[in-house]
Every structure is written in C-alpha cells, then in structure tokens.
C-alpha cells in the first residue's frame, strides 16, 4: 500500500511538473526551427520552464498536437491557417481567423513582422533561355520537370489549386524541401516550390517566378497557441508578446542563411537574435566542425539512449503480444487469416499518418506514441515466424508428449516452443533490425533518437548532419543483428539452429 501511495505521489509530481513546462513546437524546415527556438528562449528568459520540440512533421501533426495539448504554441502563417487547416476561401483579418480557431480552443496572434509566401522558382539561366518570368509562362513549356515538396503537393492552397488556376498539366514528383535546391542545381528538376524568405535563393541563382494571377494569399508569420495559454502562463505569454513586429523579412533571411549556409546551430542563431534584435548585429559564422566531431557531438549519448528506448521498448511489446498471437494463428485455422491479415495491414499504414493518429488519440507527443507505432510495425515478423515455426513441427512430436501425460500447455512450453525457437528468434531479430531504421521517424513527433539529426539535416540540407544520424543507426542495426547471431550460436543446439535448413 505504501508503495502504491509513493508511486501515485511521484506520478502526480511528474504530471504537475509537465503542466508547468511550456512546450513550443516547430515544423520541419529551417525558418520554423529558428522561430520555435526564439519563442522558447524568450519564455526561458522569464525564468519559466520551456522546451522546444523541433521538426514535428507537417502542418497536420502540429495542429493535432496543439489541439490535444501536447504542445502549447508554435509558429505558423495566416494563409496556412486559413486554407490548410480551416478550409476558408480567403485569408481574413486576424480577428476573423481567431473566431474560426475558437471552436478548436486555439488562437493566433503576435504577428512577428514578416510574411513568407510560397512561390515557384527556376534557375535564372534556364528561365532566361526559355523566356520564363511568371508562373503563367510555364504553360508554354510542357516538358519542364517539377520537383515539389510533399506538403505543397497536397495542400489546399498548393499544387492542386495552383495547377487549376494556371492551367498547368505537369506531373510533379515529390521532393523534400531541403533537397530541392541541390536537385535544381544538378538539373534533375527545372521548377521547385520555395519560400520567399529562403536563404538559398541568391546562393543558387534562382529566379522567383511572378505570381501574375495573385494566386498565393498573404502568409503573415504569427504564433498559434492554445487559448488558455495567457491564463495558465501570463508572464510567459507577455514575453511572447514582446516578439510582435520584431522580426523583419531581411532579418529572417539572414537567420535562415546563418543556419543553412553558415552551419550555425538553430539555438545559436536564435540566441544571437535575442541578444541583438537586428540583422546587422548577427554574429559572424563559426567554422563547421569535422564529421567525426559532429558524429560524437555532446548529444550523441542522449540520442543513443533515446533510440535504444524506442527500439527495445517497442520490441518488448511486440514480443509480448506477437508470440501469443503467432501461437493462436498456428492453433486456429479460423483466426489465422485474420491475425496475419491485420498485422500485415498495420505495416502498410504510412508512418506519419499513424503517428498523427496516435497524437490525436492519446493527446501527447514524444516517446509513448512513437513506441506504440513501432510496436505495431514490429508485430508482423514475430507473428508470422512464430506461426511458421509451430506449423513446421512434425505432428508426432506433440502427440508423443501427450502420450507421456503432458498437458497441452506443457507440450507447448516444453516441446513445441523450443522446437520453433529458431524461427521465433529470426522473427524477433528481423523486427528489431527494422525498428532501428523506423525509429528515426519518431523524431517527427519529438521522441528524439538518431532521427533528430536526420530531420535537422534535411531541414538545412546538411549531408554531414544527416550522416551523423544515419551512420550510428546503421551501426546499431548491425550490432543488434550480430548480437542475435551470437546468442543463437551460444544458446541453441546445432540441431535446432539447422532445423529449418
């Protein structure tokens, strides 16, 4: 009883501490990272506790996290709120926008002082050769190759409506925003979608095509927050209000350049802005560290621990549920197709869609929904291999055990499962190795792990940072596979190891 009381008290203390922490979210591109970091640092300057959950995927995931209370505030744009989230036909004034957001328990405010619209861009050289200056001119060049970000391809204010407005018949390919500049530089594509505050427009010699039909609405940068934030954290909210009209378009471009082109960490870019508040006072770029220094940066062991928690926590759940399901599938012809079918379908669900659903259903982001998603993805190999291993046992062996007086449970435990163990372990090994790679997606919902580096590297198109996340993930997968093979040689007899051969 005393232990229960102590545990309850500890959980209540953790819940209270969590409620006192203000969680700032950001999307998966450079500008959102920087604005989220600025907001978090401005709150922390008041002495309040704030955490920045970086790169939480696309707009839908951020909106679901905000509505559920998993985050308290994040930067967005009026056009995105109006078209993508609220389904409005135009971008209204902020008061009307808030009237629509009120139904969701949210509000938008604190205009940051600049706008960042979508646009289409081409190489200046290529555009000059073809005489293209506006989006309407693209209609004359049917052979152009388009590489557009996945979000732009699916947004209501993106390609579907743009192609209708300008009568464009191109079939674009999906391309991550962080990789689009390299693609156009190498002439893999001709047209990409850009943000008007992108730092690389000048560096890569791109021409922003004129929106001659005024398709794109105004995208004024604002902070979107839970409606009760000013009441729950009045001092922190007042600190956020000091950001109003404090970021000019020029300052935002310079901050984006500091992160993307000069390799400055997002936190440092934000800290420089907090200290100076003016684009002319931004600190000089620091030299980029070598790749080994980036691989074993101070966050290496934290990310390793988080990745292992994700992988092995999900694996434990998958084994605990998958093995009994595999036994059931092997014993019941009626249940078998349903069990194998459902676990197979689970692996076909897009990871981000599953994560977005879990955020909305659980009302939280971080490790818990990530572990549940990995657990569901890891079921199929374990269930299928358990069922296959049991189905391959000669019928006479269980009968011999029964003839000796063993109960069905004892037959399963002492005869069938040991004989099926090589197949079961193979399924567990496959699930574990798959989980190591899949766990990198957990960074999209603030669960950490090696994916944190990959996501940040994609945002700024930093191949070194992406490799600093991908290489240790690959090494962990090889280590896990080697550990399983060693365990099989060490603890399984030669006959069992070669039973399936």
| Among 106, 63, 57, 97, residue whose Cα is nearest residue 217 | 97
The pLDDT value given to residue 455: 81
The span from the CA of 473 to the CA of 451, in Å, is 9
> Could you give the residue range(s) of every CATH 3.40.190.10 domain in the chain?
15-113+223-279
SS3 123: strand
Q: Which residues contact 130 (CB under 8 A, 6 or more apart)?
A: 137, 141
The span from the CA of 205 to the CA of 50, in Å, is 39
The pLDDT value given to residue 286: 53
> Could you give the residue range(s) of every CATH 3.40.190.120 domain in the chain?
118-208
Q: Which residues contact 463 (CB under 8 A, 6 or more apart)?
A: 457
The pLDDT value given to residue 289: 67
The pLDDT value given to residue 87: 86
**Does the model's pTM come out above 0.85?**
no
Q: Are strands 221-226 and 106-109 parallel, antiparallel or unpaired?
A: antiparallel
| Among 308, 295, 310, residue whose Cα is nearest residue 442 | 310
CATH of 15-113+223-279, one of 3.30.9.10, 3.40.1410.10, 2.30.38.10, 3.40.190.10: 3.40.190.10
> Could you give the residue range(s) of every CATH 1.10.3720.10 domain in the chain?
300-497
The pLDDT value given to residue 163: 94
Average pLDDT of adjacent 10-residue blocks, the chain of 501 residues: 41 46 90 95 93 84 87 94 87 92 93 92 94 94 92 87 93 86 91 90 89 90 95 94 92 89 88 72 54 83 93 94 92 90 89 79 82 93 91 76 74 80 90 91 84 80 84 93 85 60 47
Into which CATH architecture does domain 118-208 fall? 3-Layer(aba) Sandwich (3.40)
Query: Looking at domain 300-497, what is its CATH homologous superfamily?
Result: MetI-like (1.10.3720.10)
The span from the CA of 262 to the CA of 286, in Å, is 7
**Which stretches of 332-442 are DSSP H helices?**
336-346, 351-362, 367-377, 379-391, 396-403, 408-411, 417-438
């Amino acid at each position: 009883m005393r232990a229960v009381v102590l545990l309850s008290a500890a959980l209540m203390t953790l819940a209270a501490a969590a409620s006192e922490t203000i969680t700032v979210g950001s999307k998966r591109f450079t500008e959102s990272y920087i604005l989220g970091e600025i907001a978090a640092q401005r709150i922390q300057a008041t002495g309040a506790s704030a955490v920045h959950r970086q790169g939480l995927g696309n707009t839908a995931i951020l909106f679901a996290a905000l509505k559920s209370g998993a985050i308290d505030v994040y930067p967005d744009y009026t056009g995105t709120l109006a078209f993508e989230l609220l389904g409005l036909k135009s971008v209204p004034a902020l008061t009307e926008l808030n009237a629509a957001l009120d139904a969701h328990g949210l509000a938008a405010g604190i205009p940051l002082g600049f706008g960042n619209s979508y646009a289409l861009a081409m190489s200046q050289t290529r555009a000059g050769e073809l005489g293209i200056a506006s989006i309407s001119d693209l209609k004359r060049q049917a052979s152009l190759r388009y590489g557009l970000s996945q979000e732009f391809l699916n947004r209501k204010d993106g390609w579907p409506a743009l192609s209708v407005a300008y009568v464009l018949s191109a079939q674009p390919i999906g391309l991550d925003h962080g990789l689009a500049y390299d693609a156009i530089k190498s002439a893999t594509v001709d047209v990409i979608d850009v943000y008007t505050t992108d730092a690389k427009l000048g560096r890569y010699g791109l021409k922003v095509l004129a929106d001659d039909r005024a398709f794109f609405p105004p995208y004024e940068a604002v902070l979107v927050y839970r409606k009760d934030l000013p009441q729950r954290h009045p001092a922190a909210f007042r600190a956020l209000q000091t950001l109003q009209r404090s970021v000019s378009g020029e300052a935002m471009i310079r901050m984006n350049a500091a992160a993307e082109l000069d390799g400055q960490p997002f936190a440092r870019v934000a800290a420089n802005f907090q200290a100076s508040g003016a684009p002319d006072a931004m600190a000089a770029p620091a030299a980029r560290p070598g790749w080994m220094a980036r691989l074993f940066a101070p966050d290496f062991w934290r990310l390793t621990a988080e990745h292992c928690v994700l992988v092995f926590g999900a694996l434990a759940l998958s084994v605990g549920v998958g093995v009994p399901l595999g036994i059931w599938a092997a014993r019941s012809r009626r249940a078998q197709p349903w069990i194998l079918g459902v676990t197979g379908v689970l692996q076909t669900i897009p990871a981000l869609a599953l994560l977005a659903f879990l955020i909305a259903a659980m009302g939280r982001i971080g490790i818990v929904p990530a572990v549940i998603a990995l657990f569901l993805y890891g079921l199929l190999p374990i269930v299928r291999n358990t069922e296959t291993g049991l189905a391959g046992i000669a019928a006479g062996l269980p009968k011999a055990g029964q003839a000796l007086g063993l109960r069905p449970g004892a037959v399963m435990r002492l005869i069938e499962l040991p004989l099926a163990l090589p197949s079961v372990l193979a399924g567990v090994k496959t699930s574990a190795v798959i989980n190591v790679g899949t766990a990198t997606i957990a960074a999209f919902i603030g669960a950490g792990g090696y994916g944190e580096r990959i996501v940040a590297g994609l945002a700024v198109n930093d191949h070194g940072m992406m490799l600093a996340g991908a290489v240790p993930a690959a090494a962990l997968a090889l280590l896990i596979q080697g550990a399983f093979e060693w365990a099989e040689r060490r603890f399984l007899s030669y006959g069992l190891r070669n039973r399936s051969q």
